[in-house]
Amino acid sequence: MANPHQIPSYLKQETLGPWGVYLEQIDRVTPYLGNLARWVETLKRPKRILVVDVPIERDDGSIAHFEGYRVQHNTSRGPGKGGVRFHQDVTLSEVMALSAWMTVKNAAVNVPYGGAKGGIRVDPKTLSQGELQRMTRRYISEINIIIGPNKDIPAPDVNTNEQIMVWMMDTYSMNQGSTASGVVTGKPISLGGSLGRHEATGRGVFVVGCEAASRIGLDIKGARVAVQGFGNVGAIAARLFSEAGVRIVAVQDHAGTIMRPSGLDVAALQAHVAATGSVVGFPGGEEISDREQFWGVECDILVPAALEQQIDEKTPGRFAQS
């Protein structure tokens, strides 16, 4: 439980959410920090939280309002860096925690960036393309006082794809009066995006998985991998593992779970998902109706590539049983 006096007044004990998880993580590592422990209090407070009202005109002429966030947790090491999430469950607590984790991740790999994160509390599936564009543009207009190539650089996250990053870049550029490709990452390559960016997160999962296997003496060829989430991260990791000779024994997405002990055909599964929207109904595997069963699948490597907070203290127990 996080230390009560460090809980911000706008997040009560009972609603701490992901930020509470982060605070506990910090408390857990503090004893090992030695002299650096004096920075713990700083890490427990985001430098800057901006909450904005994002009003748009719906296609039917009515006005809708959305809560928009941009949190810069720490920029001591360089400009803020972190994605923007469009999701109906986005909360300030979640954005705060994700921004803090960006601080930690960027420092861990020693890139000169601080940690930041943004989001809009909206289910983008309820918006038309025009509404989505207007909401994205208004959001950037509202937060553009704190972003920029030398200040804070948004990236794609859940439900924000290349098209949305282009709208962000164009809005910022229009406001500046000149093209600013450096204001966002995750752009299309033709507008200055990075080669390999699309696959980067999934490839990172694959590389780390192989390294971890190597350390524990697990031969990756023939090893069994279970993947939760089959979006940009999970699907690409699955494909790369598969190409390396790994068996993908289970895949779960928002709609269902599909298993095949001898290994799924990932390319075929990707084509199925592209065509139908989910893994449900994939003919090349066995569909499981109880989502919890996924956690009991026999595997050597588990890839959690869905949203956060899927794993809790009971998850390892389930694996132990299997």
Task: Name the residue among 83, 12, 86, 80 with its Cα closest to residue 46.
Answer: 80
Q: Which of 55, 245, 316, 317 binds a second copy (CB under 8 A)?
A: 55
Q: What does R_g of the chain's alpha carbons equal in angstroms?
A: 21
Structure tokens at 201: 């997160």
Instruction: Catalytic residue, from 117, 125, 221, 314: name it.
Output: 117
Q: Is 232 helix (H, G, I), strand (E, B) or coil?
A: coil
- Interatomic CA distance for residues 38 and 44, integer angstroms: 11
Q: Is 41 in the site for a second copy (CB under 8 A)?
A: yes
Known catalytic residue at 47: no
Q: Binding marks (x or -) toward a second copy, 96..125, rule CB under 8 A? A: ----------------x-x------x----
Which range touches a second copy (CB under 8 A), out of 133-141, 154-162, 266-274, 291-299? 133-141
For the chain, count helices (H), then strands (E).
9, 10
From candidates 138, 224, 239, 247, binder to a second copy by CB under 8 A = 138
Tokens representing 12?
Answer: 């009560």
Work out which of 35, 178, 262, 289 binds a second copy, going by CB under 8 A: 178
Which span (184-192, 203-211, 213-221, 307-315) binds a second copy, by CB under 8 A? 184-192
Q: Specify the residue for token string 């001591």.
A: 76
Rule CB under 8 A: choose which of 25, 30, 48, 244 binds a second copy.
Answer: 48
Both structure tokens of 69: 């966030």
User: In the complex, what is the shortest distance from the CB of residue 95 to a second copy, in angstroms, rounded to a whole number?
Assistant: 10
The pattern of x and - marking residues 261 through 300 that bind a second copy according to CB under 8 A reads ----------------------------------------
- Distance between CA atoms of residues 308 and 191, nearest Å: 31
How long, in residues, is the chain? 322
